Amino acid sequence: MARDAIGETLGIRPETVGLELVVPEVAPLLDEVLEARRQRAAADAAERQALAEAARTLSEDLRLSQGDASRLLGVSQQEMSQLSRAARGSADARPRLLGPPNSSGTTRPKRQRKAPSPRPRWALAEDDV
């Protein structure tokens, strides 16, 4: 209603009119609410950024599975996937590995594995007799 009247008076379309209603008696209270909302939005953005960076570090640098990383961060696997993709886009300039790559192209050290024992770990030596 007010936008229509202003638009008609000024000869412009009503949807282009910006209108802010201020009641002097409650303006200070509303300012506090607006400031709290701004702070919450900033905190939410900081949390999203921290989660995205942690997701990228856990999945790419530390090579944790998506499931393990999502449990550590307290998010669903779908959210973890979205966070990893978002962080990957923002961290392209950052080096992924420290030091030169090895000749095989893998990033994990190769471990010598012992041959499996013929009996289960829980079995006692006396059981063999």
Is residue 78 a part of any domain in this protein? yes
Cα(128)–Cα(120) distance, rounded to whole angstroms? 11
**Based on the structure, what is the number of domains in the chain?**
1
Would you state the pLDDT for residue 81? 86
Would you state the pLDDT for residue 93? 46
Is residue 54 a part of any domain in this protein? yes
Instruction: Please give the structure tokens belonging to residue 22.
Output: 């201020």
Residue identified by tokens 């709290």 is 36
Flag residues of the chain having pLDDT under 50: 93, 95
Is residue 65 a part of any domain in this protein? yes
- For residues 69 and 59, the answer to whether their CB atoms sit within 8 Å is yes
Strand, coil or helix: what is 18? coil
Taking the model in full, what pTM does it have?
A: 0.49
Domain residues for 65? 42-93
Would you state the pLDDT for residue 110? 63
Is residue 32 a part of any domain in this protein? no
